[in-house]
């Protein structure tokens, strides 16, 4: 399990930030390994933030509710799996301004983003 530090809109783009399925598989195979997350995977100068492997007591729960059922209809829930560990991203990201991009403070009248802000949607 990976606790992604943002809102995932595109699954393929989110997986690419970890180096694809191969990057996640390599981190899972190696005990004590950290999972790198590249916020701009297309930028070779972009630095990664690293997720630590942490023990968890999470469960994967499958919840089934019939479509069109009234609001008081019964809901079926079952535990599908136990998640003993996850990669968690608690560290701060480095602030970077990519080459060829003007900082927001250099653009008159432009809205200002918080310093060190990272994309929240992938």
92, 90, 89: which is closest to 115 by C-alpha? 92
What pLDDT does 72 receive?
Answer: 84
d(CA 74, CA 64) in angstroms, rounded, equals 9
**Residue 102 pLDDT greater than 80, yes or no:** no
Q: In what order do the strands lie in the sheet with 2-3?
A: 2-3, 76-88, 48-64, 35-38
Cα of 94 vs its chain's centroid, Å: 16
Say yes or no to pLDDT of 4 above 70: yes
107 has pLDDT over 60:
no
Strand locations in 65-120, DSSP E? Answer: 76-88
* Contact (CB, 8 A) for 61 and 80: yes
In this structure, of 9-23, 32-46, 50-64, the range with the lowest mean pLDDT score is: 32-46
Mean pLDDT over 77-102 rounds to 82
59-83 average pLDDT score: 91
pTM of the model: 0.65
Would the pLDDT of 45 be above 90?
A: no
Residue 98 has pLDDT above 90, yes or no: no
State mean pLDDT over 32-56: 88
């Amino acid at each position: 399990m990976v606790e992604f530090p943002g809102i995932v809109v595109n699954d393929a783009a989110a997986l690419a930030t970890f180096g694809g399925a191969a990057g996640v598989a390599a981190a899972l195979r190696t005990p004590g390994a950290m999972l790198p997350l590249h916020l701009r995977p297309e930028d070779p100068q972009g630095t990664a933030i690293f997720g630590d492997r942490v023990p968890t007591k999470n469960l994967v729960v499958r919840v089934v509710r019939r479509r069109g059922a009234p609001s008081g209809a019964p809901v079926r829930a079952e535990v599908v799996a136990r998640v003993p560990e996850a990669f968690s991203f608690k560290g701060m990201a480095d602030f970077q301004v990519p080459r060829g991009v003007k900082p927001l403070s250099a653009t008159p009248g432009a809205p200002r983003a918080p310093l060190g802000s990272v994309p929240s949607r992938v």
